[in-house]
Amino acid sequence: MRIPLVTAATPLNWESELAALLKRLSTAQQELLSLLSTKRELIVRRDHQGLSDLVVREGELAAELQACQQRRQELLRQADAEGLPSNSLEELATALPRSAASALKTPVAEARQRAELIRHECLAQWVAVQRTVLHLSQLLEIIATGGRSHPTYGKGRVVERGGSLIDQAV
């Protein structure tokens, strides 16, 4: 199957539209990576006030990334309406004339790489927070039960357990 090329008669300047979107996306992604780095440091330091202060900026970046996503969808819908590839920006950029396609190749690859870094950073932070929540939950259980666990099966007296208040492995 041959991918149709954009011709000079196309009313939308695809190269400039895609370049503008990729520039906007790049800025938002770089700001998000910076924010996530700051957030990681605050999580490690257990700076709850600092984390709370990031909420507004996170919301602004989320809104900007949503706007980028909406613009992406608009461009892909328009590309589909014009018979151009519309599965991804990379596919659309590849269908442009050679000079435009080569100019957009690097920004598309960089956006994809930053998106992968963002996913990894978010996952790492999620894991760290989940471990903390689990640890706090275990502490609350120890405090609530006085360190004595109830038998899982049957009726009987409470199992006496010795040990420390905090799991020393954590």
pLDDT score at 147: 72
Q: Is residue 134 part of a domain?
A: no
Q: Is residue 63 part of a domain?
A: yes
pLDDT tens-place string over residues 71-119: 999 999 999 999 999 999 999 999 999 988 999 999 999 999 999 999 9
Read off the pTM. Answer: 0.73
Q: Is residue 84 part of a domain?
A: yes
Number of domains in the chain: 1
Domain that holds residue 82: 14-118
Q: Is residue 150 part of a domain?
A: no
Q: Is residue 141 part of a domain?
A: no
Q: Is residue 138 part of a domain?
A: no
- Which two structure tokens, joined as six digits, stand for 63? 């809104």
Q: Is residue 133 part of a domain?
A: no
For residue 25, the Cα-to-chain-centroid distance in whole angstroms is 13
Q: 118 Cβ partners below 8 Å, 6+ apart? A: 29, 32, 33, 36
Mean pLDDT in order along the chain per 10 residues (170 residues): 46 88 97 96 92 96 96 95 92 91 94 96 92 88 76 59 52
Q: Is residue 24 part of a domain?
A: yes
